[in-house]
Amino acid sequence: MNEKVEKAKVESEKKGKKIRKHFKNNKVVYLVGLGCTTLGALSTLAVVSSPLVSNRLIQVLTYKSSQTLEVWIEALGDPGNVIQDMTSGIIYASQGQAARELGLNPADISRHLAGHNDAVKGHIFTKLGKAMVAE
């Protein structure tokens, strides 16, 4: 048992020395990176808080559009629910399509949309509505 502990201590000391040596050899690189990051943050703060920059310009630079997307998919029978995977933003024509493409159980997605589960294997879905049937 003591042999294993000693071996672990030696390995830990070797790793520590290796890390310290790395930082010592690359100290200039890390300091330049820190300096550039600090300079960038201070410059951004100075520009944003400057009286020369209007609030309108900041509003234009940070604009997020609100676009709507209509999806028309031809379906046989009941077209199902159009759902969106909120974790990736991908929109699926039906719960079945989402289940097939993500390798999930369709029943788990249905239970999730009904509010019984918080997520399905890391995916959070929302129902966008019924798909329209093409005439």
Q: What is the domain-level CATH number for residue 122?
A: 1.10.10.10
User: What tokens does 9 get?
Assistant: 């201590």
Q: Would 38 be classed as within a structural domain?
A: yes
Query: What predicted TM-score, i.e. pTM, was given to this entire model?
Result: 0.43
95, 51: one domain? no
User: Are 123 and 102 within 8 A, CB to CB?
Assistant: yes
CA distance 26 to 34: 13
Number of domains the chain contains: 2
User: What tokens does 70 get?
Assistant: 């209509």
12, 55: one domain? yes
9, 52: one domain? yes
User: Are 129 and 91 within 8 A, CB to CB?
Assistant: no
Q: What is the DSSP pairing of strand 91-92 with strand 81-85?
A: antiparallel
**What are 104-133's pLDDT values in tens digits?**
998 999 999 999 988 999 999 998 888 776
Task: Please choose, from the candidates 79, 88, 16, the residue with its C-alpha nearest in 3D space to the C-alpha of residue 8.
Answer: 16
48, 86: one domain? no
**What are 2-47's pLDDT values in tens digits?**
787 888 888 888 888 999 999 899 999 999 999 999 998 888 877 7
Range of the domain at 109: 81-130
Q: Would 74 be classed as within a structural domain?
A: no
